[in-house]
Amino acid sequence: MGHPAQERRTRLLGREGEDVTGAAADGQGAGARVARGALGACYNAPMDPAQAPGPTDLPRELRVPAELAGVRLDRALGRLWPTVSRTRLRALLEAGGVRVDGAPAGRASSAVDAGARLELDLVRLEPSTRPSEPGLAMRVLFEDADLAVVDKPAGLLVHPSPAVRGGTLSEQAVARWGPLPDLQGEDRPGIVHRLDAGTSGLLVLALREPAMRELLRQFREREVKKTYLALVHGEPRFDTGWIEGAIARSAASPERMEVVAEGEGREARTWYEVRERLGPASLVECQPQTGRTHQIRVHLASLGHPLVGDPLYRPRQTPSRRLAADAPLPARQALHAARLEFAHPGSGERAAFESPLPDDLAALLAHLRGA
């Protein structure tokens, strides 16, 4: 497999073919391989927490006062809705439950204007006792004093959300290792990066704060190499290439993300290589250079090749070759985080971890190969 920088570079902001510009160690779990190198007006009014209103008592909409003009969106929300925790406001932002002047909110760090109308989806703020799917547990592949690498099954939520609490991966981690650093939020102990609930595969957790700070730096500086395997509808035009397209939350469907014009969303780049062409579907390897919400799912869908089983990003038209009626379709998107490589925050040595395809995706792949 060639290095991404040496492969054909394809700029795709919409349909495929448009604007083509050229070009771990001890504790290892069964089935996983570890490769190591040398190793309003009252926004600031105090309130008695015991008298804090519930979600249904909160104002749904408030205007940004002049005093908050230019303040970060997440901080403005915290000042305007002081009885809602920062963690819940952040989760609401990420889930598309905040709107600014009628449109889905952008980045948490974006500045707000005086007079801007901020709206909260109060339904999503209602407390819930619904736990994550029962019976789902992370599998620990490696652990030491600094970090742990785990294999997440599809269906397991990485951390609590406004809708789900109990049994999530971060809560399982605390139950195993005790208090963990929460630099990403009080509801995200140990969490350095995330996978969608329906995506399976590898995650690194930080067990100590210095390790978390270093791992976060590596992700921020794009020094972590992440490799995913995906089963997509159809056959991509090119064997390999870059997908470049800014991503933003959909105004029509806030639970979805979409590729938008440059300058209207956050930069996103994904390198892909077709590993196998299987008629009605293809096995594709993806290496995202950025880490946007739903990035691989959105980018592949923008090519006209959405993930098999993806409930959000379905084919825009009937595929020319459909999967057989007896195909063992997965009950989630066919995406697996298969390899994770980073520098150990303690020693600086590069470490790579691999996870094989889980049973549901392996069964579909075997079916396609035998069709």
Known catalytic residues? Answer: 196
Cα 22–chain centre separation: 29
Helix (H, G, I), strand (E, B), or coil: what is residue 134? coil
Angle CA(102)–CA(104)–CA(108) in degrees, nearest 5? 120
Helix (H, G, I), strand (E, B), or coil: what is residue 161? coil
User: In sequence order, which residues have a C-beta less than 8 Å from that of residue 103 and are 6 or more positions away?
Assistant: 251
Q: What is the DSSP letter of 66?
A: G
Helix (H) or strand (E) holding 171: helix 169-177
> CA-CA distance, 157 to 212, in Å (whole number)?
20
> CA-CA distance, 187 to 169, in Å (whole number)?
11
Radius of gyration of the chain measured on its C-alpha atoms: 22
Query: Is residue 1 classed exposed, middle or buried when 0-12, 13-18 and 19+ CB atoms within 10 A define those classes?
Result: exposed
> CA-CA distance, 184 to 286, in Å (whole number)?
26
User: In Å, what is the CA distance from 200 to each residue of 215, 248, 297?
Assistant: 21, 24, 13
Q: Do residues 345 and 210 lie in contact, with contact meaning Cβ atoms separated by under 8 Å?
A: yes
> CA-CA distance, 2 to 17, in Å (whole number)?
22
> CA-CA distance, 321 to 224, in Å (whole number)?
37
Q: How many CA atoms lie within 13 A of 273 on its CB side?
A: 13
User: In Å, what is the CA distance from 24 to each residue of 41, 68, 141, 158, 236?
Assistant: 54, 48, 7, 21, 34
